[in-house]
Structure 1
Amino acid sequence: MTFTNTLTDPRVGTTLSRMFAAAADDDFAAAGIADRPGGFAAMSPQEQADAAARIYMPISAAGGQLLYSLVRAVRPATVVEFGTSFGISTLHLAAAVRDNGTGRVVSTELNADKAAAARRAFAETGLDDVVTVLEGDARETLADLDAGADFVLLDGWKDLCLPVLRLLEPRLAPGTLVVADDVELDGLRPYLDYVRDPANGYQSVTFPVEDGMEISCRL
C-alpha cells in the first residue's frame, strides 16, 4: 500500500528545511525592534509587522506536523490562518489539504514583503493552487470571508488573536477546531482566558509542543 504525505515531497521538504534554518538565525536585536521609540508593544500592528519583516517567528517542526495531522483528520473545506509570516505553518496546512484531496487554505499577512516571499514558497513547492494569501489587517480581510472557517490557526500578533477569533465566530460550526500557538507568551492571556471559559462555547486543551498550542473545539 502506498501512503501519501506531501511533506515528504522533495520540493516541500527542501523548502521547509531552508526556511527552518533561516528561522534559526532570527535575531530581534539585529532587526532593531527593541530600539524602537516606546518599545515594540507601543507600535501599531502594521508597524510591528513591518519592523519584524525579516523575522520568521515560525511554528516548530513538531507543531507543523501536529497541524498537518489535525487537518488530515478533520478534512476541512476552508482552513483559515491568521499570520502567514514566511509561510512555514501554511505549507504544513496546505500539504494536508492537498493530501486530503479537497479544501483550501486562506492565510493572512500584514507585511507585503513577507506575503510576497510566502507566495514564492508556495509556488516553488507546487502548493500555490490551494493557498490564498490575503494581504492586510486580518480584522478587515477576513471580514469578507466567503465561506465558513472549518479549521482555524491563530499565529499572528498575540493581542489580536482574540479579536480575530471573535470576528470568525459566526462562521464556526460546532466541532470546528481552533488552534493558537505560543501558549506561554503573555500576550495570549486574554485569548486563553476566553477559550478556557466554558461560558464562551469551547472545550480547550493545551498541547505540549514547543511553546505550547491551545486546541479548542467549538461546541
Structure 2
Amino acid sequence: MLFSDPDVLAIFTEYDQRHQSERERMQQLPPGAFGELRDEFLLPIGARVGGYLRSLVIAQQPARILELGTSYGYSTLFLADAARENGSKLVSVDVDAAKQDYARNMMQRAGLADHVEFRCGDALDIIAQDQGKWDFVLLDIWKNLYLPCFDAVYPKLAEEGILVSDNMIAPASAREAVRAYRGAVRGKPDLQTMLLPIGSGIEMSIRWTEGNPKL
C-alpha cells in the first residue's frame, strides 16, 4: 500500500481516478490538439515514481524539500506525506495560481497542509530569493526550464543533497532539453548521477564531495 493514512489514500485515489479519466480523454483528442489543452491535465509522475520518491525522502530525512512544479499537487502528495513522516518542510513552487489552489485544497483534505508551503511565481526568482540550502529537490516543470532551474538550484543543493528530475526518457519531444540538462549535471564533478528507468525516466543526482567524512 502506498499510503497508510486513509485520508491521504483517499486523495491519492481521487487523483488516480482523474488521471484514468484524462487518459481516455487524451486518446479521443484530434492530432495536435493536446498542446493547447495540456494545462488541463494532471500529467502526473505516476504511482511508481511517487512511491519511490516518498521512500527516498523518508530514508534520507531531508530538513528542507523543494518541489519545482506543483501543478495540481499529485507529486506534492507523496512529498508532503514523507515530510510529515520526517518532520521536514516542503516548499512547492509553481507559476500557476489556480493549479496551486487546487493542490492546496487537496493537501488540506489529506491533512497535510501544515507540511507544505506553497510559493507562487517564477521559479528562478523564488530560488534566488531563498537564502537556505535544499536537501532534496524534485524538478518537474516545463522542460525548457530544466537547465536554468538547475543552474539556479545547484549552488544551493546541500552536501549529500538529492536532485531528482522527471521525464528523462519520455516524452520524446523533450529530448533536446533533456540532453542539455543531463550534460550540465554530468559536468559537475561533485554530482554523482544516474538515470533510473521508472515511470517516464528520472535522473537522480547526489551531491558528494570526495573525502567527505560523513560517507
TM-score scaled to structure 1, two decimals? 0.83
Q: Which residue is equivalent to 2:17?
A: 21
Of 72, 85, 90, which residue of structure 2 is paired with 1:86? Answer: 72
Which stretches of structure 1, 4 residues or more, deviate above 2 A after TM superposition?
24-36
User: Of residues 117, 128, 131 in structure 2, which corresponds to 1:132?
Assistant: 117
- Counterpart Cα distance in 1 of 2:30 and 2:119: 27
Which aligned pairs between 1:90-109 and structure 2 lie closer than 5 A? 90-100=76-86, 102-109=87-94
Distance 1:141 1:9, change over 3 A: same
Alignment of 1:32-43 (within 5 A): 34-35=32-33, 40=35
In structure 2, the partner of 1:53 is: 39
Contact between 1:28 and 1:55, CA under 8 Å: does it hold in 2? no
Change in 2 beyond 3 A, CA 1:76/1:20: same
Letter in 2 for 1:202: L
Say if 1:137 and 1:25 are closer, same or farther in 2 by CA, change over 3 A.
Answer: farther
What corresponds to 1:201 in structure 2?
190
2:166/2:202 contact within 8 Å kept: yes
Q: Shift of residue 142 of structure 1? A: 2.1
- Residues 79-125 of structure 1, C-alpha deviations (whole Å, 9 max, x = no match): 0011111111111111111111x211001112121111000001001
Decide which of 179, 182, 185 is 1:189's aligned counterpart: 179
Q: What letter matches 1:84 in structure 2? A: T
Query: What does the per-residue CA deviation read over 1:4-51, in whole Å, with 9 as the maximum and x for residues that have no partner?
Result: x99221111011111122122334587899459xxx5xxxxxxx8xx5
May I ask how many residue pairs the two structures share in their alignment? 201
Cα-to-partner distance string for 1:155-181 (whole Å, 9 max, x where unaligned): 111121121121112211221110001
Q: CA RMSD in A?
A: 2.3
TM-score w.r.t. length of structure 2: 0.85
What is the aligned partner in structure 1 of residue 159 from structure 2? 174
Instruction: Label 1:28 to 1:132 Cα distance change in 2 as closer, same or farther (>3 A).
Output: farther
- CA separation of 1:216 and 1:33: change in aligned 2, threshold 3 A: farther
Which segment drifts farther, 165-174 or 71-80? 165-174
Q: Distance in 1 between matches of 2:46 and 2:145?
A: 21
Gaps of 5+ in 2: 209-215
Q: Distance in 2 between matches of 1:107 and 1:86?
A: 11
* Partner secondary structure for residue 42 of structure 2: coil
Aligned to 1:8: 4
Q: What one-letter code is carried by the residue in structure 2 that aligns with 1:193?
A: G
Task: Name the CA shift for 1:128/1:9 in 2 (closer, same or farther; >3 Å).
Answer: same
CA-to-aligned-CA distance 1:107-148 (integer Å, 9 cap, x gap): 111212111100000100110101011112211122212421
Displacement of 1:193 in angstroms is 1.6
Gaps of 5+ in 1: 41-47
**Alignment partners' CA distance in 1, 2:54 and 2:29:** 31
Could you tell me the percent identity over the aligned residues? Answer: 33
Matched, 1:71 2:54: no
Contact 1:195 1:201 in 2 (8 A): no
